[in-house]
Structure 1
Amino acid sequence: MHLIHKLASWLETHWAVPAYAGWVILGLTTFFLLAAANTLAGWLYVLGGLGLGLLLVSAVLPIKSLQGVQVERLPLLPVSVGESLNLGLKLSNSTKTAKSLLQVHDHPPKNLGATTAHSIADIPAQGTHTWTYTLKPQQRGVYRWQNVQLRSAAPLGLFWCRRSRPVKAKAIVYPQILPLQQCPLLDHSGHEQDRQRQAQQIGPHNNNEGVTRSVRPYRWGDPLRLVHWRTSARHNELRIRELEMFAGGQTLVIALDSAGNWHSDQFEQAVIAAASLYAYGQKHQDQVQLWTAQIGLQTGRQAILETLAQVQAGEVTVAPLPQQSVVWLTADLASASALPPGSCWLLWSDEGVAQKLASQGNHLQGQLIQSDQPLAAQLQASLSISVR
């Protein structure tokens, strides 16, 4: 059966293959010709000749019906996981006769969606037909495919003909971006000296107003010098000033340990965390960069998100880690000890490992991430290990 299927597929793509009705007529025609050869009856020769003529015409017409049909793909816009990916094809009839009863088959990769087919009743002469459809990708990645297939049995429906058209496609599916309202790891990471230096340069009067980004309720561990007293008196509760996260000229570098040894679900969470931290950091400053082991530093929203879409665990380290402070996303406890001063980390491991890290006198801020807990809540929670 497999050999028969391959033969039928080859015939359909290179010439034409009979449909069910075509096989019936082919069988009857063969029967008439054999009977005519046996009986020498003229009317059997006529029936056999008519059948052969009908089969020949019905095999040629579908091939001609696909000639002159050109296919163009509409632009594909990047989306995030869970969003709707809109795909479209524009079919143009460059001939002076209408094209009818066509099928269009698009074959996106399996991780992106199933093969999709569309039937077209008629494309006018010198006219166009646009087909759009929607997929909902559930896995990040950069997906490419090359061809679109046109299929027709018009006008008699006795033979199928299928032809491929080279229409390249590239669909980019970004990782999910969590809408973080706060992120203590970035808000209170090792840049306090930069904030103090900025406040000293602005002066004592402007220190209360000039570098304030927003005001929020007091959380345990917040320094009292950041209390906004007038707003606190107005609301009858302590309110804390949120300062600009970094001083001018400073850059936030999110470093993903893509060369490490990860569990697949933990690495996917780390990619989501990197995208979410990038989006959060971009709201509060202009310069945010991403570092991965194979590509190195990336700047710009499109380049960063496309890198996160295609990054994989276990990459070969090509680019050295930046010498400036970074936000280190890792599953390896030992790698956090070699980070530049002022860095902070997100660690995908169990709580015992985090306590071991704290007992070693680690002087970096960090947040322990548990795979079985909601990631957004953990990124917005207080730090697991504070600065010593």
Structure 2
Amino acid sequence: MFKLLATVRHRWVMWLMGWETRLVSPSFQGALLGAIALFLFGAATNAMAGWLYVMSGVLLALMLVAAVLTARSLGGLSASRSPIQPISVDDLAVVECRITNHARSARSLLQWVDRPPTPLPVASGSIALIPAQGSITIQAQFRAQRRGIYRWPSLTLRSGAPFGLFWRQQPIAAPAKLVVYPRVWPLAQCPIVDWMGEGDAQNAAGDRALRLGTEGLTRSLRPYRWGDSTRLIHWRSSARFGELQVRELETAATGPDLIVALDSAIVWDPEDFEQAVEAAASMYVYASRCYLDPFLWTAATGLVRGRQVVLETLAGTQAGELAQHEPPSRAVLWLTSAVDRVSQLPDRSRWLLWLPPGSELAGSLLGRHAQGRVISRDRPIPEQLQAGNHPL
């Protein structure tokens, strides 16, 4: 019974909203006034009393005028949004929208509703007055609980002016795009990244010393930019020029130092896939912080690089997406939930494996392909990535 009543109520609300968008829909006060007008008209018909006809006619005329004015109350309005800065999971997004009134008369007593895709919440507010030929800026705030790239086309304005007897709503084109990056864990160390692709500890230490050392082959000097390492500042030249100068060191063009590959073309457990995305983002950021040259690979995008590009790629990737690129032919750091995919990796690759619930590790992973880690569901992922001081 309650379910039937809820269904009827939902259909009634949707029917009224449809009328609000196409024409107008009566408010509670408008419906009550209309019922009184009809009651007076019926009483006038039975009693043949002229004053009842006059009262009912005045009320109906008032409702007609209110309906026409309400239908015109949203004319001449447009909206434009400011660029929305990307955020991370659990951060607060601030979406600014500028509403402009192009009409020669002011617009007052407005409501606005911003409906982004789920799971983002609906935001709403009110506007007291938009002056003629003027504009006003509104702010909507959304707290993102899940990563993703969210797009929505419009902002909905709603008005009951001037008498509040009818409602009129109108969607105004205002395209929006909000990018929610995956969570990035602050890794203090990550052995599987530190030792990725290295033949032995001596080669790894020598290569890292070449990258991290402040002494080396200087290609050129350039002005200091925010975020540059202080170890690369050339103090003698800085004193001579009166501003900080940073050395650009020669780098060997030997390809990427690290490829973090997310096996996104297969079916994942949803929770495991979110953990894998966060792990990929965290390891990429960690590798960049260690002066490596990391790349990210997904089945849909192939190889990409650059912090912002990588994080946006991970924000939009989905499990089971169409594979448009072949996996890299060189050693990779492979994140997967399919046991059989591990045995197909190139030599010297490493892997992180999320086993589906109820499955067991196959013995075929032992031997030359046993260079990886099986992710446990009983321990936090950052703790597992930082565990150990030796290559896996």
TM, length-normalised to structure 2:
0.81
Question: In the aligned structure 2, how far is the partner of 1:42 from the partner of 1:121?
Answer: 41
- 1:250 matched residue in structure 2: 255
Of 6, 22, 35, 2:14 maps to 6
Pick which of 7-16 and 185-194 moved more: 185-194
Question: In the aligned structure 1, how far is the partner of 2:100 from the partner of 2:211?
Answer: 58
- Residue identity in the other structure for 1:133: A
- 1:55 matched residue in structure 2: 63
Would you say how many aligned residue pairs link Structure 1 and Structure 2?
A: 347
Provide closer, same or farther for how the CA distance between residues 190 and 197 of structure 1 changes in structure 2, counting only shifts above 3 A.
closer
- Residue identity in the other structure for 1:250: G
Aligned 8 A contact 2:123 2:142 in 1: no
- 2:39 matched residue in structure 1: 31
Of 295, 312, 321, 1:306 maps to 312
Question: In the aligned structure 1, how far is the partner of 2:151 from the partner of 2:204?
Answer: 49
Report % sequence identity: 40
- 1:15 matched residue in structure 2: 23
SS in 1 for 2:30: helix
Question: In the aligned structure 2, how far is the partner of 1:208 from the partner of 1:94?
Answer: 61
Provide closer, same or farther for how the CA distance between residues 208 and 143 of structure 1 changes in structure 2, counting only shifts above 3 A.
closer
- 1:372 matched residue in structure 2: 378
- Residue identity in the other structure for 2:350: C
- Residue identity in the other structure for 2:276: A
Deviations 1:277-329 (A, max 9, x none): 11111123363211112322223333322221121222333311111111111
Of 110, 120, 123, 1:116 maps to 123
Provide closer, same or farther for how the CA distance between residues 159 and 211 of structure 1 changes in structure 2, counting only shifts above 3 A.
closer
Q: CA deviation at 1:364?
A: 5.2
- 1:74 matched residue in structure 2: 82
Question: In the aligned structure 1, how far is the partner of 2:168 from the partner of 2:322?
Answer: 47
Q: Does 1:281 align with 2:282?
A: no
- Residue identity in the other structure for 1:272: E
Question: In the aligned structure 1, how far is the partner of 2:361 from the partner of 2:197?
Answer: 19
Provide the aligned C-alpha RMSD in A: 2.8
Aligned 8 A contact 2:212 2:291 in 1: no
Question: In the aligned structure 2, how far is the partner of 1:151 from the partner of 1:382?
Answer: 59
Q: CA deviation at 1:47?
A: 0.7
SS in 2 for 1:65: coil
Uncovered stretches (5+) of structure 1, i.e. residues with no partner: 200-206, 215-245
Of 95, 104, 121, 2:103 maps to 95
Uncovered stretches (5+) of structure 2, i.e. residues with no partner: 1-7, 215-250
Question: In the aligned structure 2, how far is the partner of 1:119 from the partner of 1:70?
Answer: 16
Question: In the aligned structure 2, how far is the partner of 1:188 from the partner of 1:161?
Answer: 64
Question: In the aligned structure 1, how far is the partner of 2:322 from the partner of 2:372?
Answer: 25
SS in 1 for 2:72: helix
Of 49, 55, 69, 1:41 maps to 49
- Residue identity in the other structure for 2:102: S
Q: CA deviation at 1:7?
A: 3.0
